[in-house]
Structures are given as structure tokens and as C-alpha cells.
Structure 1
Amino acid sequence: MDTEDLLATCWTTAGDTAPDLDDKRSPLNLRERVEAAGAAGFKGFGLLYSDLVEAEREYGLAGVRTLFEDNGLVHIELELLTDWWADGPRRSASDAVRQDLLRAAEALGARHLKIGPDVDDQPWDLDVWAGEFAALAAQADGVGARLGIEFLPWSNIKTVHDGLRLVETAGHPAGGLIIDVWHTERAHTPPAELAKVPGSRIVGVELDDADSDAVGTLFEDTVRRRRLCGEGSFDLPGIIAALRTAGWHGPWGVEILSEAHRVLPVREAAEAAYRTAAALLR
């Protein structure tokens, strides 16, 4: 299997929806999205939990897996679990999502599960979080998947260094980081720092681009104004070289989130995302 495969993360093929909407479900049928990703050349596919629920209702998990296999999509990413550190009603709701994601990961042969930090940036206890992360990583491992946390510069886990501190404290080999280059760039992390991340702690990488200056809040900028790879200000060749030095060779996620991208026909959107990212990996 080609280690330089590309994975279309959930938003890249989701069409006219976004993380800042109350209803984040894609308006597109999963078959349309999967066929568009496969036709573009992607070998991996990401699915948001709310879309997973719809897909299971329409196809059953066995049918979803067949759909992926028929279109050459072998690297499957499921997201996004939040509140895994919480208690009370928030934790109860999170645990219900957790069980669904773990069940689906096993049925679909998912490569990894993606989880998020606290976007409200509340005070947190490293040891408590590490314990929760280790327990969740063990559950992911139990269904044949890895667990990756995506750090966000506006959250309690702002940088690759913060994320690494969490996963190293947790210590479970199935746990690691999702490194989205948008977040490393907006956190002003130089590529040389990425080269130092232990390869065993990189669960996923997401490629994208952006203008040099953020417009609005970081959250607004990241969901509305990302650019296709090579069409913004990021030193993507340097970042890719650094991540390869760290030991990463794919699958490379491509996460394009923008007002311009999501109104394109899905086949056009997937093709543009694939073509511009693949050009950087040659």
C-alpha cells in the first residue's frame, strides 16, 4: 500500500455545511461523497459523527464499509468526540457518542478516532485529563483503532507541545496527535519543531493553507477562509519535510474548510483538494 496516500477529511467532501452551524450534517448523500473522493484519487475518508448516524440509518454499517471498499477508501477516520473529560450530563451525552464511535470503528475497520480539546479553554488538570485520555485510547485500541487529539490554538490544548505533554503523560501507545498544519501555523510553531515530534505519537496529519493574517476570530477564520494547499501563505513544503523527518509518511489528511469550497459541486471540490495536496507530496 502506498504510504503517501491522501485522506479526505470529513469537511472536504461535506458540501454546504460547517462546524459553526448548529446542524453540521452534510446535505449530500454519503454515496455521492464517497464516490467523489474515490474518483479524485483519495484512499481515505473522514466521517463526522452526525453523518455517521445518517449513513448507518441509510446503509447499515456493513453497507457503509462496502461503499468505502468499492471506492478504494482504506483509511477511515471518525470524528469528533468532545466532553470526554467532563462529568454530569455532558459526560453522559459524550459517553453515548463514544460507544457509537467505538462500535462503528470496529465495524468499519477505522484507522483512528479523532477527539477534541476544551474549546472554552477552562482550567484543567493534566493528570485527570491524561487518565481519561489513556482510558479512551485503550478502548480505541480494543477495537483496532488509534486515538488522536487535535490541538486548537483557542482551546486549552493550544500547541503541538501541549498536545504532546498530554499524550506522553497518558502513556498509552494507541494515543497520539492529529497535527493540522492550520493550527500549527496559527500557533506560530515553526516546522523545525514538528520535526522533533516522536513519530509514534503522530496519529494523523491534515494539510491545508491560509492567508498570512487571520480575519475575525481564529475559529471564524479556520472554518470560513482556509485555502487549497499551495494557494496561501504556509510553508507547506517545509512543514511536509519536517513531518517526514519526524517519521510521518501518510496517509495525509486534506482538510479544506471555506465558504468558497463548500459551495462547489462535490466532485469538483474533491478533485481540487486532491490535486493541490498531491502536488506537494511528489
Structure 2
Amino acid sequence: MDRRTMLAGTAATLAATATGARAQTTGDTEMTDQPRLVMWGAALMVHPLQARLDAVAESGFTHMTVFPADVARWREGGLTDADITRAIRASGVGIATIDPYTGWVPGWSLEGLDEFTRGFIGYSEDEVFRMADVLETGQINMVESAGAAYEETAYADAMAAFAERAKARGLRPTFEFMPTSKIAGLREGWSLIQASGADVGLTFDTWHFWRSDPDHDLLATVPMDRILEVQVADGGAEIVEDLQTDLLYHRRVPGEGDFDLTRTLDVLRGMGPIRSVGPETFSQEMNETATADEAVGRNAAGLAGLMPEIADKLG
């Protein structure tokens, strides 16, 4: 199967009970000696809801994440919002965050985007807030995509305004820099969060860090209580085709690539306890060959190999 066929197949696959219920299913992200263990949705994107929940529930991961496009697809497939909530509650798996949300950015528009991208990010604030209620998550992950030309003050004001609206809905936002976006690296991403003055946490993705400017000295200056999520993904020494293709189809399971993830994780550990950690492996190979159980198990083994302190949890 070629990459474009895979893209089309993936696109076809994706397409205020708040406070009390969220407390039960999301867990807290206070700094403790044991991080929250999150199976990020990238490696499970071709699998149905119940298969994901079953695989995660049996793995040692306590949480998983959901794309807005997942919720849209499950609804199209006949699940009601009540069905989705009920399945999640029954599984015992918490939903760590709904990810990504892009509509906060100034000048956000879907005009000129391909069908896959429109289906992946094309959700309004109200739609994503309602999805968060259905998932009973207390967090929403912001990224930049399809926005106006980057100007820090305008973006900072938009981030702060969105953070206030999210807070009113019982949601805490995080922000994730990406080398494929206008906020490409840690320096720009952390600067934007600071400029906003808002209670926005950082989602730190090792793939994004290594594919932008992997400045470990800079990383060590970020307050650890602002790094709410750590996504661990590996990659090859060379970019495959281009950054976007590499990001979506050629990430590697933690420990199976060429990034010095041990160094990065050691720096993070030196900054304080890691609150929440898990693999995020967008991979054409995994989408084509892995069952949900295999995808979760392989990612669990990779993460445990890099983080022996959690190996006994991911059996």
C-alpha cells in the first residue's frame, strides 16, 4: 500500500457532566514519584473504540487520548455520545486529553487544506468542548495549524482568551509546539506560553523536539510544573521525504530509532518528577500490521526499556 493510499484510508478511519465525572476518569496530574501512564492515540488511530479500550485496560497504561476526528467517526458509525461515555467508564481507562485543537489560533481557516487535514482538525471550539464532555476529560491539547501569519502578541492574546473559556468549562489547556507549524520549537512554544500569561501547560513531544532544535540546556530552564504531558516517540537519523510525511508515517517506537531519548529523559528527570508520560507513535507500519493489543504492547515495551522506573507497571 502506498503512502497516499494509506492517507486516504486513515482519513476514512478518522473522520458539563464535567467536574465530578472528569475527576473519576482523568486522574490528577500532581507531581508524584510515579507518572500517569498515557497511551497516546496515534498508534491506535485505525482501531475502533472498544478495541482501544480493551488493549489499554490490559496494558498497565492508565489513560489514553482521543482525537476529535475519532469522536466524529464513532458517531458516524452509530455510537451515541452516551454509548461512548458508557464504554469509557466501563473500561476503567481515563481519557487524558482530547488532542489536537487548532481553532484557537488567529485567522484559523480550513480553506485550501486537503481532505485529510480538514477531517483531522476541522472542529470548532464548541464542538471540541462538547466532545470533551462526552469523553469526561479535564484537558485539551492546543496546536497551531491553519492560522494567520505568526505574530507572538496576537497569538498570546488568543491563547489567553481561549484558556479562560476552557477554564470556565472545567478544562485545562496544554500547548504543543511542532516543527511543521508556525511555532516550530521549544523556544518559540515556551515563549508563547509565557507571553500569554495564562495557565497553559506544555505538552513536550520528543519527536518534535529532536526534529526542531533539541536544545537540552533550554529544556532544563522550563519549570517542571508547567510540563503537563511528555510524549515519547523515536525517529530515524534522516527525515523521510519531508517533515509532515515523517511525522505522520515514519515515527518509531520509543527506543527503536536514532534519537538520544535517554539523554532527553534524563534531563526531564533532573528537573523534577515527570507528571504524565506515554508513547505517541504515528506509523504507517503500525497502522498496517498491528492489532490494538500489538500496538499497545510494543509501545509499552519500548517505553519501559527507556524508563525502568515504570517497567513494572507496563507488564
TM range (shorter): 0.7 to 0.9
For residue 10 of structure 1, the aligned residue among 41, 44, 56 is 41
**8 Å contact from structure 1 (residues 9, 255) kept in 2:** yes
**8 Å contact from structure 1 (residues 6, 253) kept in 2:** yes
Q: Give, in whole Å, the separation in 2 of the partners of 1:133 and 1:167.
A: 8
For residue 185 of structure 1, the aligned residue among 210, 215, 222 is 210
For residue 292 of structure 2, the aligned residue among 230, 251, 266 is 266
- What's the secondary structure of 1:151's corresponding residue? coil
For residue 99 of structure 2, the aligned residue among 79, 82, 92 is 79
Residue 196 of structure 1 is matched in structure 2 by 221
| Displacement after TM superposition at 1:44 (Å) | 1.1
Identity among equivalent pairs (%): 24
Change (3 A) 1:235 1:135: same
Give TM-score scaled by structure 2 length.
0.76
Is 1:43 aligned to 2:62, yes or no? yes
What is the letter of the counterpart of residue 7 of structure 1? V
Is 1:216 aligned to 2:241, yes or no? yes
Change (3 A) 1:84 1:233: same
| Displacement after TM superposition at 1:37 (Å) | 1.7
Residue 20 of structure 1 is matched in structure 2 by none
| Displacement after TM superposition at 1:268 (Å) | 0.7
What is the letter of the counterpart of residue 242 of structure 1? V
What aligned pairs does 1:270-281 form with structure 2 within 5 A after superposition? 270-281=296-307
RMSD of the alignment, in Å? 2.5
Q: Give, in whole Å, the separation in 1 of the partners of 2:79 and 2:88.
A: 12
| Displacement after TM superposition at 1:232 (Å) | 0.9
Aligned residues: 267
Q: Give, in whole Å, the separation in 1 of the partners of 2:138 and 2:303.
A: 21
For residue 169 of structure 2, the aligned residue among 129, 137, 143 is 143
For residue 253 of structure 1, the aligned residue among 261, 278, 290 is 278
What is the letter of the counterpart of residue 104 of structure 1? M
Give TM-score scaled by structure 1 length.
0.85
| Displacement after TM superposition at 1:209 (Å) | 0.6
Unaligned stretches of 5+ residues in structure 1? 16-27
Is 1:236 aligned to 2:261, yes or no? yes
For residue 142 of structure 2, the aligned residue among 110, 115, 136 is 115
**8 Å contact from structure 1 (residues 105, 143) kept in 2:** no
| Displacement after TM superposition at 1:89 (Å) | 6.2
- What's the secondary structure of 1:40's corresponding residue? coil
Residue 206 of structure 1 is matched in structure 2 by 231
User: Could you list the per-position Cα deviations for residues 33-84 of structure 1 after superposition, in whole angstroms to 9, with x for gaps in the alignment?
Assistant: 1111222222111111111123356444443333223333224210222242
| Displacement after TM superposition at 1:95 (Å) | 9.3
For residue 86 of structure 2, the aligned residue among 50, 66, 71 is 66
Q: Give, in whole Å, the separation in 1 of the partners of 2:221 and 2:81.
A: 38
